Amino acid sequence: MAMSVGGDSAEKPMSDINTTPLVDVMLVLLIIFLIAIPVVVQQVKGIKIPDVRYEPTTTKPENVSLSVQGGPGGECQVYWNLTRVNHTELLNRAVDKLKAEIARLGNNITPDQLPEAHIRGDVNTPYKCIGATIFTMQSAGFARVGFISEPPAGEGVTRM
């Protein structure tokens, strides 16, 4: 603590600040954080998170392109290429598309040769619309359902 001893202390205000309590509190907080951070940051050993931020997709002609957006009154609008379809039409088209591709490829088929479903979802689309579209495509037999997105403006493909 600062203490003023002397004759004319009543005439001048004391301008010294005692920083010892502040330093003590900061050191205690530093020790608490050094102990608490390793406890909070827990990881499963052996898991490596991908370093790729944006990876361009390779589009094959047999892939299905779907666009999903929310309509008025919470209605879901799904488009197969440029044609609007309802839930039943989407399921029927997906099954027919998969059957046609399997018939075209023959008996020696690998999972990589099967068509994929690529979904473009509007930013403001409710999750129920996207989820229902994914569920319908998986129910039809599509093993690979992915999302098409755009990278933020001004950014290119970066691989780390």
Rounded average pLDDT per 10-residue block, the chain, 160 residues: 57 79 93 80 60 65 88 88 91 93 85 87 85 93 84 56
Contact 1, 18 (CB under 8 A): yes
Give the β-pairing of 83-85 and 64-70.
unpaired
Total-model pTM: 0.60
Choose which CATH entry (3.40.50.2020, 3.30.420.270, 2.40.50.140, 3.30.1780.10) describes domain 64-147.
Answer: 3.30.420.270
- Collapsing DSSP to helix, strand or coil, 60 comes out as coil
